[in-house]
Amino acid sequence: MSQITSLPILDLSQLDGTAEQQQAFLDKLGRSARDVGFFYLINHGIDAELSAQVQQLSRRFFALSEADKQQVAMIHSPHFRGYNRAGSELTRSQPDWREQFDVGAERAPLPLDSGDAGWKRLQGPNLWPEALPELKPVLLAWQKAMTTMSLRLLRAFARALELAPDAFDSLYGDKPNEHIKLIRYPGQTAETSSQGVGAHKDSGFLSFLLQDQQRGLQVEVAPDQWVDALPLNGAFVVNIGELLELASNGYLRATVHRVVAPPADQDRLSIAFFLGAQLDAVVPVFNLPEPLARLALGPASDPLNPLLRDVGWNYLKGRLRSHPDVAQRWYNELLQQQPQHTA
């Protein structure tokens, strides 16, 4: 494989074209997901005006007073929704210098009985700032549009793996894990931490990033070889999550990435959308055609943070590690326990 210096660009509108155009898209999708694990997606069908509204309202949210933002602080949510100030989320035990606002699927909490799995507490309503009522309808409209588009792309992945187009449908069912994260990276001086977000992989199926014009996202395309995912107007940066790596037995690649904080006199706004499986799903290893199966390397798993096939436990494990204050308040009894999970 030749040295990678930039991310490939994929045109989702090719799926509306001729059989040859569709196959060209699927071939490039498979190569990009295997070789890099990241790509730009253009002509994706998400309304540009709606995305611009999301960016504008995100700026307005982060400009609210500290009191207004603390009214929706994540510490108030057993579902890990709401606002975190810079430095409160951890990646690999180090603070990430970004402030953020997390929104999940707007669903009622699951009824809980004594002894139920801890991950059942993850489903529930979002926290919405009273000082910015316009935020809720716009974010939920964008979330709905992003879910529709991302499920279309996920079915294209099934086709690229030469599986049935609906191969992954049962994993997300009628309750996919739809997660939006509004993120603002404040500028940092040379004397302070440059970790906007520490090096990590994403845990779901697919991640989509809407960037502003400030650079910062970097992708580890080979050990210690980092490529800048520079902003590309009108495009999402898309990356593969660990669920797809696991489901394809490592044929597809969930790639380590990080964000470098902007210079002191600037900031960076990004909007992330994560598509995951429904919480009660268990991810199987799909039987790929023999030519593809031969190239599957097995999923990479950090022994200090093992990848679980049980979606709910895997998602909760990540939340508990990233947000120790929320974990202490709402999941204290689980912190000293090892969850039972499928091997």
pLDDT value of position 1? 44
Average pLDDT over residues 117-143: 97
Query: Residue 278 CB: number of other CB atoms within 10 A?
Result: 17
State the number of CA atoms in the 13 A half-sphere of 307 facing the CB: 22
User: Quick one: pLDDT band at residue 340, thresholds 50, 70, 90?
Assistant: very low
User: Quick one: pLDDT band at residue 305, thresholds 50, 70, 90?
Assistant: low
Average pLDDT over residues 300-309: 65
Is the pLDDT at 296 greater than 50? The verdict is yes
Give 178-229 pLDDT, tens digit per residue: 999 999 999 887 767 778 888 999 988 999 999 999 999 999 999 999 999 9
Average pLDDT over residues 2-29: 94
User: Quick one: pLDDT band at residue 302, thresholds 50, 70, 90?
Assistant: low
User: Quick one: pLDDT band at residue 341, thresholds 50, 70, 90?
Assistant: very low
Give 322-338 pLDDT, tens digit per residue: 899 999 999 998 887 75
pLDDT value of position 334? 85
CB 104 within 8 A of CB 178: yes
Q: Which residues pair with 178 in a beta bridge?
A: 275
Selected residue with higher pLDDT from 115 and 302: 115
Give 249-288 pLDDT, tens digit per residue: 999 999 999 999 898 889 999 999 999 999 999 999 999 9
How far is residue 144 from each of residues 160, 177, 211, measured CA to CA in Å?
Answer: 25, 12, 19
With a threshold of 0.75, does the pTM exceed it?
yes
Is the pLDDT at 3 greater than 90? The verdict is no
pLDDT value of position 335? 82
Give 19-50 pLDDT, tens digit per residue: 999 999 999 999 999 999 999 999 999 999 99
Is the pLDDT at 303 greater than 80? The verdict is no
Is the pLDDT at 173 greater than 50? The verdict is yes
pLDDT value of position 195? 84
Interatomic CA distance for residues 55 and 210, integer angstroms: 9
How far is residue 339 from each of residues 109, 265, 279, 311, measured CA to CA in Å?
Answer: 21, 45, 15, 12
User: Quick one: pLDDT band at residue 104, thresholds 50, 70, 90?
Assistant: very high
Give 133-171 pLDDT, tens digit per residue: 999 999 999 999 999 999 999 999 999 999 999 999 999
Residue-range domains of the chain with CATH: 9-334 (2.60.120.330)
For the record, the structure tokens of 88 come out as: 């409160």
Cβ neighbours of residue 288 closer than 8 Å, sequence gap 6 or more: 161, 162, 163, 248, 249, 251, 296
Interatomic CA distance for residues 144 and 147, integer angstroms: 5
Selected residue with higher pLDDT from 67 and 1: 67
The mean predicted confidence, pLDDT, of the chain is 91
Q: Residue 161, class by beta-carbon neighbours within 10 Å (0-12 exposed, 13-18 middle, 19+ buried)?
A: buried
Average pLDDT over residues 281-310: 83
